[in-house]
Chain A
Amino acid sequence: MSADFIQLLVGGILLGGIYGLAAFGLSITFGVLNVLNLAHGDFLMLGSLLSYGLFVWLGINPFVAAILVIPAFMVLGVGFYLLLLKPIADKPPHQLLVASILVTLGASLFIEDITAYFWERPVTGISYTLPPMEVAGVVISSTRLLVLLFIFALACAMQLYLKKTFVGKSIRAIVQGREGAKVVGIPISRVSALAFSIGMALAASAGAFYVTLFTVTPVMGIPLTIKYLCVVVLGGLGSIVGSVFGGLILGVAETLTAYYCGAEWAPTIAFVLLILILIVRPEGLFGAKK
């Protein structure tokens, strides 16, 4: 275990935490609405750009920005739901699938193209660093550690919200069975709107951390959504703990691939993992067997 390897591992876990947080949001929206939101990665991108803007123009610290983007994107999420997803929510399954892919993919292309027009050059991260610290002979950037703590806290808060509060319980009830939830009097449409906005806020919040570490480009949305898909399938469909673990696995795998095989091979690992898990264990690591 050389110091290099531990550095890599820390970097991978951090990236994985970001993936996990965003994939968690994707998993919630899919569970509640039965719609796979192909524009999810674009919300991470928008969250990154907003947080970058806040930092550059107003000098707001990225950790505060990660909190600030949450309400902003929840409002945006409700708007997105009401405008694009509510009209198609009650269609029969096959039509819902086709309509949802068309609508979310279209929205994704629209967001990317418009953003790319106004934001020509890629944003190369926020230069926000705290003094590094040394643990057992390994130098670890304390910014990274703090980001990791933040993500962990956010995931825990999310889990508590879903398990303990009434609204959280009704979200889980809808995930388990839409019809049953309707029968016991849960207002499906309102809770769906809330769940969708939470999913979007998580993606945007993950984006605020993403920009502190990596380069952000307007066209990164769809590749990112594909990575979240890999994470969600890896962890098991509908499992929240699973999506966090899936994220960690993908993050570490990507960092190691980039180091040992060259950075140009890193984008392939997500797909290789996806294919592998589909062959070996299609229900995912934490998913229940059908």
Chain B
Amino acid sequence: MVFYSVFVLLWIILAALPWLGFSYGVVWIFLLAVSFTLALSYDIVGGYMGYMNLGHSTFFGLGAYTTAILLNQGFNLFTSLLAAFLLAAFFAALISYPLFRLRGAYFALATFGLISLIEVLTVNLRDLTGGSGGISTPPGNHMLPAYYMVLGVAAATMVLSHSVARSKFGLGLFSIREDEEVAQSFGVPTSLYKGLALVISSVPASLVGGIYVWNMTYVSPESVFGLEIALSPIIMAMLGGTGVMIGPLVGAVFITLVQEFLWTKVPYFHLAMYGTVLVLLGLFMPGGIVRTRWVKPFIQRLGLGEAVEYFKNVDAERMS
């Protein structure tokens, strides 16, 4: 229970932040919450189910573009956001049929290709999307409402992720990650669950995409389908630790802090640094920060030990 009280307290502090005069902090938390939501929603497919969806930012971009186009048509924000997440969910359902015929690394690479496909489409369909120049939405200062909306979506995603992990559906996802054939023979409707997981994970991503573009009032293919947007949520989830709800949070805070201090000092080699982080993660720490020897006892004291332990037992079993 300690964990939930900490979270509620954290959210109250964050909600009070704009009234305490931290205007730079508000922008910073806004971006952090966007990345965190992306990382957490990625983790439903990537962490719980074990399918690395490198194309998660496609949903973010789809949400952003749909919202921007509809806002320019004169629709209000809520209609646009509704349309954005319906479209993204529909797209996820559509694409899940062919893509889930691939497994493992092939799935990861194919989803990565999905981003470039959608990017080429947005560049080529100039009449709809404004081509490579992007589109601007009606201007205005939406920082404060956008901030609260993103906080709301992030909190809702946490509740969603938590309830998925506790449900029978979540158990099905875990079993798919451990062994798909065995899961299937035990009666888990794997195809349905895989599609459903992708649809569920697409919703928060498209919503924050919409809110993000409403606040920034500009969207271009580069800004939503770029490599850094695609990779940073995944790196956050992996660095923090996949499959545990606190993992993406730890990763998101860590990466955003590093970006804050390192990116401004070193103008070059951002991607190379991401690459080095990825290599080191893969070689030495595939379980993420929350599963390292020093952090784990602390996480267990927060009442989240179950998920961390769960992984360890499974791995120990397979090693023998």
Binding site for B on A (CB under 8 A): 30, 35-36, 38, 84, 87-88, 91-92, 94-95, 97-103, 105-114, 117, 222-223, 225-226, 229-230, 233, 237, 264-265, 267-268, 270-271, 274-275, 278-279, 282
Among A36, A88, A226, point to the contact of B104 (Cβ < 8 A): A36
C-alpha spacing A112/B231, complex, angstroms: 15
Binds A, one of B61-69, B139-147, B253-261, B264-272: B264-272
Among B178, B238, B318, point to the contact of A102 (Cβ < 8 A): B238
The digit string for B103-141, where 1 denotes a CB below 8 A from any CB of A, is 011101110111011001101100000000000000000
Q: Decide if B120 touches A38 in the complex (CB within 8 Å).
A: no
Give min CB distance, A108 to chain B, whole Å: 7
A88-B283, A109-B275 known; 15 new pairs, CB 8 Å cut-off, are A38-B109, A88-B282, A94-B178, A95-B286, A97-B105, A101-B108, A102-B279, A102-B286, A103-B282, A106-B274, A106-B281, A112-B271, A113-B270, A229-B110, A278-B98
B102 at interface, CB cutoff 8 A:
yes
Contacts of B54 in A (CB 8 A): 101, 105
**Using a Cβ cutoff of 8 Å, how many contacts connect chains A and B?**
133
A30: nearest chain-B partner, CB-CB: B105
Contacts of A103 in B (CB 8 A): 278-279, 282-283
Give me the 5 closest cross-chain CB pairs, A-B, nearest first. A106-B278, A102-B282, A109-B275, A36-B105, A110-B275
Among B98, B112, B231, B272, point to the contact of A279 (Cβ < 8 A): B98
Q: Decide if B117 touches A271 in the complex (CB within 8 Å).
A: yes
Among B106, B231, B319, point to the contact of A233 (Cβ < 8 A): B106
Q: Decide if B283 touches A113 in the complex (CB within 8 Å).
A: no
Q: Decide if B110 touches A274 in the complex (CB within 8 Å).
A: yes
The digit string for B220-254, where 1 denotes a CB below 8 A from any CB of A, is 00000001000100000010001000000000000
Q: Decide if A226 touches B277 in the complex (CB within 8 Å).
A: no
Can you list 27 A-B pairs, Cβ within 8 angstroms, ordered by A?
Answer: A36-B104, A38-B109, A84-B279, A91-B286, A94-B177, A94-B178, A95-B315, A97-B52, A100-B105, A101-B54, A101-B105, A102-B278, A106-B278, A112-B271, A114-B272, A117-B269, A226-B109, A226-B110, A226-B113, A229-B109, A233-B102, A264-B120, A265-B124, A268-B117, A268-B120, A271-B116, A279-B97
Contacts of B293 in A (CB 8 A): none
C-alpha spacing A230/B114, complex, angstroms: 12
Contacts of B113 in A (CB 8 A): 226, 229-230, 270-271, 274
B79 at interface, CB cutoff 8 A:
no
Contacts of B286 in A (CB 8 A): 91, 95, 98-99, 102
Contacts of B272 in A (CB 8 A): 109-110, 113-114
A283: nearest chain-B partner, CB-CB: B101
Q: Decide if A100 touches B98 in the complex (CB within 8 Å).
A: no
Give min CB distance, B175 to chain A, whole Å: 12
C-alpha spacing A282/B269, complex, angstroms: 39
Contacts of A95 in B (CB 8 A): 286, 315
Contacts of A278 in B (CB 8 A): 98-99, 101-102
Contacts of A109 in B (CB 8 A): 227, 231, 271-272, 274-275, 278
B276 at interface, CB cutoff 8 A:
yes
B50 at interface, CB cutoff 8 A:
yes
B46: nearest chain-A partner, CB-CB: A98
Contacts of A279 in B (CB 8 A): 97-98
A91: nearest chain-B partner, CB-CB: B286
